[in-house]
Structure 1
Amino acid sequence: MDPAQTTSQEPRRDDAPRRRADARRNHDRVFAAALEVFAETGLQGTVPQVAERAEVGKATVYRSYPAKEDLVAAVVRYRLAELERVTGPAVEAAPARAFDSFVLALFAHLAQDRLLSEALADPRSAPYTGPLLDRLAALMEEAKAAGAVRHDADRQDLRVVLCGMALQLVNLDERNPDQWCRYGELTLRALRP
């Protein structure tokens, strides 16, 4: 086809790299906006809020994430990887107190992330949050063996106490990181022998 005969609706081949770059930029803007919206509002965040924050249309969001659940899952996975980067050094720095360090770092992180707080308490998020809870349970078992955690504490206790505290702080709309750290300390005390 002669280039002069192309219509305004047909993309020209020399436009393809620019369009791909635009799509990548839009995808990055959508994801950055989703991180902000869901950190602020948790699962109550909406695709229209994400689109507005990213300054794109809803259709642009849906091109990258066909359903809100896909976007939430991507954000949770990202936040969990970010949490791993934050908590890893705390645990490695004090192996004898790894469980305590991890729990306190987790609460400090959750103070800034309502979505992750809600996801941890929601059994439907287990495919994403399961590895985090597995790690917490393993650290708790090590602490239990060292006599730092009560002998009868188990994974369900950890889930009820830790996730319950986090979810209640979200429900109370508590955003003060100092308060979150205080409840991290209370969580640890609840699990002490």
Structure 2
Amino acid sequence: MKRSATAEGVMRSIASADGRLLRSDGRRNRDLVVHAALEIFAENGMLGTVEQIATRAGVSRTTVYRSFPTRQALQIAVATSQFAQIHRIALDAQQRSAGSGVGLVDFVFGAFEYNQANRLYLELFAGRPTPEMVEVHSASRRTIAELTDEARMAGVIRPEVTDEDVAFFCGGMSWRLATDRATTQNDWRRIARFVLVGLGVPDELLPPRRVPHAHLDPSVADA
């Protein structure tokens, strides 16, 4: 009986390990598919095919459908992931700023850089956003509001500037980048400088005098 109980315990252990392995593989494949879909959608808009995504991810079409039974489910997963990335850009800017107030500048340039390359989430958000998308977007807005408060307290922007002012500016430019491929990096960087100066940001805190972080392309730092 002891032996049988031990054998059963070993089998349960193996089954548990297999389950963890399968779950781990499933998560890895899901991440590969989402990343590949982000690239394909950025290149081709929502016309990108499952075949293209599977090839880019290095998995089969069956694997794609296993994680995302419908095309819409995949698009929403990509959009939610992109919202999370915008929030990550804001959080990284906030951490580097450490109360100096320059985090808002870092966020603006980092977010626009990202928005120019990745458009899908804005297309979807203008339609029927899911609760998950709204939750991530709301978290991002809270962090941007904190960056605005910090910049105001540090004297980096004018005292009367509100987080709604910043959101209006960021939202408008993000939509432009999402819908007009003709807008170049030099275009949005020039407009971003003008608007930030209008909000009170000192010229010395703007690129190229201060290159915020790795989201900026060093080759155009002096544009």
The alpha carbon displacement at 1:45 in A equals 4.6
Matching residue of 1:30: 33
Does the 8 Å contact 1:65/1:71 carry over to 2? yes
Q: CA, structure 1 residues 53+143, in 2 after alignment: closer, same or farther (shift >3 Å)?
A: same
The alpha carbon displacement at 1:36 in A equals 0.6
Pick one of 170, 177, 187 that aligns with 1:179.
187
Amino acid at match of 2:136: Y
The alpha carbon displacement at 1:131 in A equals 1.4
Pick one of 78, 101, 104 that aligns with 2:106.
101
Does the 8 Å contact 1:41/1:115 carry over to 2? no
Matching residue of 1:161: 169
TM-score by length of 2: 0.58
The alpha carbon displacement at 1:37 in A equals 1.5
Matching residue of 1:149: 157
Matched, 1:135 2:160: no
Q: List runs of 5+ in structure 1 lacking aligned partners.
A: 1-18
Matching residue of 2:68: 65
- How many residues get paired? 178
Does the 8 Å contact 2:118/2:178 carry over to 1? no
Q: CA, structure 1 residues 36+159, in 2 after alignment: closer, same or farther (shift >3 Å)?
A: same
Q: CA, structure 1 residues 190+69, in 2 after alignment: closer, same or farther (shift >3 Å)?
A: farther
Residues 126-173 of structure 1: CA deviation (Å, up to 9, x unaligned)? 222221121111111222233433444334333321111111122221
The alpha carbon displacement at 1:105 in A equals 1.8
The alpha carbon displacement at 1:56 in A equals 6.3
The alpha carbon displacement at 1:72 in A equals 2.9
> Structure 2: how far apart are the matches of 1:83 and 1:96?
19
Pick one of 59, 76, 79 that aligns with 1:76.
79
The alpha carbon displacement at 1:38 in A equals 2.5
Matching residue of 2:207: none
> Structure 1: how far apart are the matches of 2:103 and 2:80?
23
Q: CA, structure 1 residues 145+60, in 2 after alignment: closer, same or farther (shift >3 Å)?
A: same
Residues 71-108 of structure 1: CA deviation (Å, up to 9, x unaligned)? 23332343355455555554444433121122122222
Quick check: 43-52 or 142-151, which moved more?
43-52
TM-score by length of 1: 0.65
SS in 2 for 1:149: coil
Does the 8 Å contact 2:109/2:189 carry over to 1? yes
Amino acid at match of 1:74: A
